Each structure stands twice: as structure tokens, then as C-alpha cells.
Chains A and B, each alone.
Chain A
Amino acid sequence: MTKTFIIAAITATLGLSTAATAADLVFTSWGGTTQDAQKAAWADPFTSETGINVVQDGPTDYGKLKAMVEAGSVTWDVVDVEGDYAVQAGKAGMLEKLDFSVIDKSKLDPRFLTDYSVGSFYYSFVIGCNKDAVSACPKTWADLFDSTKFPGKRTFYKWSAPGVIEAALLADGVAPDKLYPLDLDRAFKKLDSIKADIIWWTGGAQSQQLLASAEAPFGSFWNGRLTALAETGVTVETSWDQNITAADALVVPKGTKNKEAAMKFIAAATSADAQANMAVSTGYAPINLDSSAIMDEKLRMSLPDMQSASQVNADMDYWAANRDAIGERWYAWQAK
């Protein structure tokens, strides 16, 4: 009896586990509305053009990624990662070199280009505020870090990544061109002054929920999430003052079995059309230099790259080099 059951279990197993065939390409990103947009703007047209089915997975998890590559059992073919991680992982030998005979790099924003990665989309950390919930909205980083002038909870991105530390330093009066190397002591001291009032958001959807429910009536957000939130009828005020830009990157983990298809996918995803469509639906900026020409002028103005007047670019090379050290200190500070 035992035997039959085991055999039945094993047959059932084999039948089910072959569901993802070798021809499928697995694209991993951060989920939510952003990944939905990536699917619609990149994956679906890619599938109808090439016949290659794209399976969506997420959220991106660097621990999983590393374990896969080390074990030589890679199930993710194209991964959307943060820009600084891409630089670091490329240097650490975790990624495949991109094939620029397939991907046309002449049209891609050189700021986000390395041998191992291209930009995915580019976004800004901006100051968002629920106008219905408070009488006055913070306009600058200094405002957001001032809990006497703006009492109440404020929300920031929880994970160690470019954005919050820069905001703290800007709020403390550091000139944008003097940000790097980051003065961590000064940044944490500034952060200490509002620590009790911070609610951390762990993902884009949570940041939207916190703002919409006025759990935290203001904070620092990805600009695209505010655009999406405003569309659902919430009165959102966005301040672009000293918006801090960073880009996601597309990478291919070392040892993928679908390398060729992965390169084709990246080429398609970074094409002018795909990038323009992505920008339209998310409010993030395209990394293909030709995209803006084919986009609606008015919408164009609401994207991060039109806010360059007071824009601050996060230094990905600096972050790549110091990512681990900052991360350890960041989490230790949070847990304190």
C-alpha cells in the first residue's frame, strides 16, 4: 500500500513540476503595479513577436539570486535589480556579460550602462503628501526632517538603498555636489532626530497605503507610485525639490539556460517603444534616449527627467563600492 502511494505521489510530482518548460523565459521584478506595467509594455509584445513565453516572478531577492548562481541552478533569466546592486554583482562575477550585438546600446542612457547591465527605468525619490489629511505639506527635505514644523508620522523606504541617506544629508544642508562620499555619521545623526516619527515602507504598495490612509500623511516615495495613487482619487501633492534619482537595472544571472532569449528580451524591453509605453503607464522615466520623441508632450513633463533643475543623482558607483558596509550600519541603526 505504501508503495502505491509513494509511486502515485512521485508520478503526480513529475507531472506537475515540468509545468515551466525550458523555452519559457522567467522575468523577475518587484511586483505590484510596476511589474504589471513591465509585463504589459515589455513581456506581452515580446511574446507575441517571438513566441517565447515570459513567466513573471517576484519579488527580486538578492539572497535567492546569489544562492541560485552559486548552486548553478538558475531559474531567473532576466532580473530587475537596483542599479547599485547591478554594478556590485557584475564585479562579483554573478552576472552574464550582456551581448551588445543584440542590444543596441547607442540609444541607451549611458549613466545606467555597464558591461553587465542596462537601465530598466528610472525614478526619483520625491516628497509626497496627503493634502486632505494635513493643513500644510512639507516642500523640501529639510521640511520633511523637521518634526516641529511638520508634526506627525512620516514614511521612508526601509531597505538600505540610495535615497534616504541622501535625503537626510540634503535636509541637513549639504550641497548636492558635495554629497559623495556620504557623511554617514552626519546622516544618521539627522535621521536620529526624527527616528521616533518614522514608519518604514517595505514596498511600493505599502507606501501608497500609508499615504492614502494617512497613517503617515507625508514621506519620501517613488514618484511613479504617487502618480498611480493620484489616479485612484487620493489628493496627493508631490514636491520635486531636490528629487533624488536612481535607476533600476536589467541583468542576467550567471549560468542561465536561456541566455540568448534573455538578451533578446532585454533588447526588446529597452527599445524606444517599450520604454515609452512603460513610462506612460508608470510615471517613471525611460532610459532609451529616443523614447521622449514619441511620447505625449504633457505626460512627458510629469516624468523625473523633466525635473532636472533641482535633481540630485545618486552615485551608483559609490553605492556599489560601499553597499555592504552601509547596509550593515543601516540595519544596525534601525534595530537600535
Chain B
Amino acid sequence: MLLNFDRLGGWKWILIGITGLTAAFLILPIVFIAALSFGSSQWLIFPPPAWTLKWYEAFFADPRWLEAAGTSFSIAAMVTVLSVLIGLVASFGLVRGRFIGKEGLRALFLTPMILPVVVLAVALYAFFLRIGLNGTVTGFVIAHLVVALPFSILSITNALEGFDKSIEDAAVLCGASPLEAKLRITLPSISHGLFSAAVFSFLTSWDEVVLAIFMASPTLQTLPVKIWSTLRQDLTPVIAAASTLLIVVTIALMLLVALLRKGLKS
């Protein structure tokens, strides 16, 4: 009865009410930002005295915003590729391997996920200054890779554990080389795991701000860093315009992901 929507009786409406309010709560800031980006008030007064597109003009007129978006994208792309590859290889080791300390190793691999990012940021900052990686793309990629890898390993090990190893063994018994069997049998079967690893890695890097603030240099800033410094220094509604554009990109990405998922399934 409790797990049957139609037989919940009056409780049904309570659940619908809570869910509806929560959905409204979740969507409110997103809608609001979009509205704010068209307001004319420089000081974020809402409702604004008039509506305007000038913040979008300012966004596209300032090459630094677009540059930052480009940097963010290329860093996130590199992080995604490396994170999925390293994560895939490590996941095979973790799922298939039989060595002492395997569980400990698995726990260790997930630690960056729960470690407060600010600790890592401060530590890496001091370290990178010494070895000259600060303010370089390499430094950024490494820093983001450290926090993205756990998501990759988590998604891929989950998928691998759900995959029946005997199918791969059968391929090997039928004469395929182990590598061939993995590439042609196993990888396609765990593609959903690889896919979510890629999505999570990309988003982790794309959205990451704390590490990025420390890693950034005058000539190398990601979009979140640009938003952060603008938030702290100028507070102009250009931030709202930039954010709205980001939301549009996000929605586009989500639709793409949904379509790809459908494609993978069929």
C-alpha cells in the first residue's frame, strides 16, 4: 500500500505537496538568475526598473569571459579523457584482482571525494609552487583529475561488478586474446558505466571552484574562477548573464545525454 501510488489515500497528496514544493525550491534560483540577467539594475535590485540585454552584450564584448569558458572546456575535456582511462584500468585491477589490501586500496581511491577540497587546494598550491606547476594547464588538469578520479572508479567498478565475467572468459576460450575480449565484449557491456564516469568527471572539473581559485594565474582562469572573482570584485549582473548561458548549455548537455542514453539502450 505505501509503495502503491494509487492506494496511498490522503498521504498521496502530502507526498505530492512536499515533492512539488521541493521541485519549486530547486528550480527557483535557476529561474531567478535568468530573470535577473535581463534586469537593468546594476545593483541587483529586483524587480528591476527596466529590462535590457546589455549584460549579454557586456559578456560577449569581454574576451576574458569567452576565454575562461574555453579554458574550462579544454581542461574538463582533458580531465575526462584521463580520468576515464586511468579509472578504467584501475577498476579492472580492483574488480578482477586478487591481491592483499585490495579493499584498502579501493577505499583510498575514493578518499579525494570526501576530503574537504580546501585542504587539498591549499596543499596542492604549496606543492605546485615548488615544482612550477602553478598556473599551468597541467597543474589544473592534475588537480581536477585527483578529485574526478574517484567518480570514475566508482562508476566503472559498479558497472564491472555487474558484468558477468564468464562472457569475457568464453570469448577467450573461443580464441580471442584477453585484450580483444575486453575491447569487444566487456567495454561495450559496461558502456553505461564509462558514460557516467565521463559525465561525472567532466562536471567535476567544469564546476570546480575551490581548487581552481588556487591554481589560477593571471593568464589562465576557468569560468568558475572568473565568476568567483567577479562576484567578489564587481558583482555586476554580467555574472547573471554568464550563469544563464551556462544553464542553457547545461540543459543542452542534459538533452544530449538523454538522447545518447536512449541511443545506447536501443
Binding site for B on A (CB under 8 A): 1-2, 5-6, 9-10, 12-13, 16-17, 19-20, 26, 28, 30-33, 35, 55-59, 64, 67-68, 70-71, 73, 75, 202-206, 208-209, 212-213, 232, 234
Contacts of A71 in B (CB 8 A): 126, 129-130
- Is the contact region of chain A dominated by helix, strand, or loop, or is it mixed? helix
* Shortest Cβ gap from B248 to chain A (Å): 26
Contacts of B78 in A (CB 8 A): 9, 12-13
Contacts of A2 in B (CB 8 A): 85, 89
Contacts of B196 in A (CB 8 A): none
Contacts of B44 in A (CB 8 A): 209, 213
* Shortest Cβ gap from A61 to chain B (Å): 9
Complex Cα spacing A209 to B43, Å: 5
Asked if B137 lies at the interface with its beta carbon under 8 angstroms from chain A, I say yes
Complex Cα spacing A13 to B132, Å: 14
Contacts of B141 in A (CB 8 A): 9, 13
Which of B10-18, B232-240, B258-266 contacts its partner? Answer: B232-240
Q: Does A73 contact B45, Cβ atoms closer than 8 Å?
A: no
Please tell me which one of the listed residues A17, A30, A234 contacts residue B233 in the complex, with CB atoms under 8 A apart.
A30
Interface pairs (11), CB distance under 8 Å:
A13-B78, A16-B137, A17-B137, A19-B220, A20-B219, A30-B233, A55-B218, A56-B218, A73-B130, A205-B234, A209-B44
Binding site for A on B (CB under 8 A): 42-45, 71, 74, 78, 81-82, 85, 89, 125-126, 129-130, 132, 134-138, 141, 217-220, 229, 232-236
Please tell me which one of the listed residues B218, B220, B232 contacts residue A26 in the complex, with CB atoms under 8 A apart.
B218
Q: Does A205 contact B126, Cβ atoms closer than 8 Å?
A: no
Complex Cα spacing A206 to B234, Å: 8
Complex Cα spacing A200 to B219, Å: 31
User: Taking A209-B43, A212-B45, A232-B42 as contacts, is the C-beta distance between A31 and B220 under 8 angstroms?
Assistant: no
* Shortest Cβ gap from A10 to chain B (Å): 7
Contacts of A68 in B (CB 8 A): 129
- A206-B235, A209-B43 given; name 10 further pairs at CB < 8 Å: A5-B81, A9-B78, A19-B220, A59-B229, A71-B129, A205-B233, A205-B234, A206-B232, A213-B43, A232-B42
Contacts of B218 in A (CB 8 A): 20, 26, 28, 55-57, 75
Please tell me which one of the listed residues B81, B134, B235 contacts residue A205 in the complex, with CB atoms under 8 A apart.
B235
Contacts of B129 in A (CB 8 A): 67-68, 70-71, 73
Q: Does A58 contact B233, Cβ atoms closer than 8 Å?
A: yes
Complex Cα spacing A174 to B72, Å: 53
* Shortest Cβ gap from A196 to chain B (Å): 24
Write the chain A residue with the least CB distance to B216: A57
Contacts of A1 in B (CB 8 A): 85
Write the chain B residue with the least CB distance to A57: B218
Complex Cα spacing A232 to B42, Å: 9
Contacts of A75 in B (CB 8 A): 134-135, 217-218
Complex Cα spacing A204 to B232, Å: 9
* Shortest Cβ gap from A14 to chain B (Å): 8
Q: Does A19 contact B219, Cβ atoms closer than 8 Å?
A: yes
Contacts of A67 in B (CB 8 A): 125-126, 129
Please tell me which one of the listed residues A6, A17, A56, A206 contacts residue B220 in the complex, with CB atoms under 8 A apart.
A17
Q: Does B235 contact A73, Cβ atoms closer than 8 Å?
A: no
Complex Cα spacing A202 to B78, Å: 35
Q: Does A12 contact B219, Cβ atoms closer than 8 Å?
A: no
Complex Cα spacing A68 to B134, Å: 10
Complex Cα spacing A98 to B247, Å: 48
Complex Cα spacing A27 to B123, Å: 25
Write the chain A residue with the least CB distance to B71: A16
Q: Does A31 contact B217, Cβ atoms closer than 8 Å?
A: no
* Shortest Cβ gap from B245 to chain A (Å): 21
Contacts of B89 in A (CB 8 A): 2
* Shortest Cβ gap from A15 to chain B (Å): 9
Q: Does B233 contact A12, Cβ atoms closer than 8 Å?
A: no
Contacts of A70 in B (CB 8 A): 129
Q: Does A208 contact B74, Cβ atoms closer than 8 Å?
A: no
* Shortest Cβ gap from B177 to chain A (Å): 16
Complex Cα spacing A234 to B82, Å: 51
Write the chain B residue with the least CB distance to A17: B136
Complex Cα spacing A74 to B129, Å: 9
Contacts of A26 in B (CB 8 A): 218
Complex Cα spacing A68 to B218, Å: 14
Complex Cα spacing A70 to B126, Å: 9
Contacts of A202 in B (CB 8 A): 232
